[in-house]
Amino acid sequence: MMMPIPLSPLFELKDYSAESVFKVENMLREARRQKGLSSEHVPSVCVLDPDGDIVRRLRKEGRARPSTGWACYHTDLDEFELDGQRLGIVGCAVGSSFAVLVAEQLFASGCRLLISITSAGQITSLGRPPYFVLIDRALRDEGTSHHYMPPAEFAEGNADLIESVRPNLSNLPEPIHVGATWTTDAPFRETERAIKARRAQGIAAVEMEAAALYAFAEARHRHVICFAHVTNQMGQTEGDFEKGEADGTADALAVIAAVARSVVTFVSETRVENGL
């Protein structure tokens, strides 16, 4: 008689309504104590820059300064001005678990809106790269999202937040589409069979963070919006991975500025509605 296959640890002992014993606020408290840091709020709008190109450009141009109150053990937070607004940015937090680790700490430190802009590989052609995809949902082919939300094929973006942003994205230098992505933990296991299946689902691009960030946002009632910067066809052609001017940072900063302008009122009104 065949023995039943044991349930993967990924899906064992999941109580999505239970609080975690290990709390981000407690970790930050101890980090501040050890580092001798005061309790300071980060900017209300922050950016995740997994590639690190944006933060490197800001530093090179002297536009970024280290945040004096950021207590994270694993990353640096820079602050910069964009269209008269102070923003925070964390570079090189690559992958679902790292992105959510940082997101938890940002929101516990005063962030109200998190914008993620990550490089992505083209699955379904929406034009010649580079271009952006405003991610409305992401296929959960990673582990982190399953610790925040019950099993489902996709993690959904906040539809109201996405709709509040879309009107301000129409006149930017680089095209912006709206669509679904495939979030994977294993970029070098993107097989021909898997790519074909994702294309049949109408998925626009593959990246490494969005599903986890959207699951976290829904579970924690946070505001997160994710963009895929489609820059490559997974190295299938010579001269791939070109992002555009200044490694794509000019276009990415234009997207960030448009989002930050468009959601200030949305985030404030939502916090009032939720009693936050």
Q: Judge whether 25 lies within some domain.
A: no
Q: Which residue has the higher pLDDT, 38 or 246?
A: 38
Q: Which residue has the higher pLDDT, 225 or 263?
A: 225
Please write the tens of the pLDDT for every residue from 69-86.
999 999 999 999 999 999
How many domains does the structure of the chain reveal? 1
- Average pLDDT of the residues in 123-134: 94
- Average pLDDT of the residues in 261-271: 67
- Average pLDDT of the residues in 231-245: 64
- Residue 269: pLDDT band with limits 50, 70, 90: low
Residues of the chain with pLDDT > 90, as a percent, come to: 79
The reported pLDDT for the residue numbered 276 is 40
Q: Judge whether 57 lies within some domain.
A: yes
Q: Judge whether 47 lies within some domain.
A: yes
Q: Judge whether 114 lies within some domain.
A: yes
pLDDT above 60: residue 36: yes
CATH, residue 41: 3.40.50.1580
Q: Judge whether 194 lies within some domain.
A: yes
Q: Judge whether 183 lies within some domain.
A: yes
Q: Does 150 sit behind a cis peptide bond, omega within 30 degrees of 0 on the bond before it?
A: no
Q: Judge whether 58 lies within some domain.
A: yes
Q: Judge whether 73 lies within some domain.
A: yes
Ranking 15-29, 92-106, 220-234 by mean pLDDT, the lowest is 220-234
pLDDT above 80: residue 227: yes
What's the whole-number average pLDDT of the chain? 90
The reported pLDDT for the residue numbered 173 is 86
Please write the tens of the pLDDT for every residue from 177-214.
999 999 999 999 999 999 999 999 999 999 999 999 99
The reported pLDDT for the residue numbered 53 is 95
Q: What's the CA gap between 125 and 112, in Å, rounded?
A: 33
What is the tally of helices (H) and strands (E) in the chain? Answer: 7, 10
Q: Which burial class, exposed, middle or buried, applies to 168 when counting CB atoms under 10 A from its CB (0-12, 13-18, 19+)? A: middle
- What domain range includes position 220? 32-273
Q: Say whether 160 sits in a helix, a strand or coil.
A: helix
Question: What's the distance, CA 91 to chain centroid?
Answer: 11
The reported pLDDT for the residue numbered 275 is 43
Q: Which burial class, exposed, middle or buried, applies to 250 when counting CB atoms under 10 A from its CB (0-12, 13-18, 19+)? A: middle
Ranking 153-162, 173-182, 234-243 by mean pLDDT, the lowest is 234-243
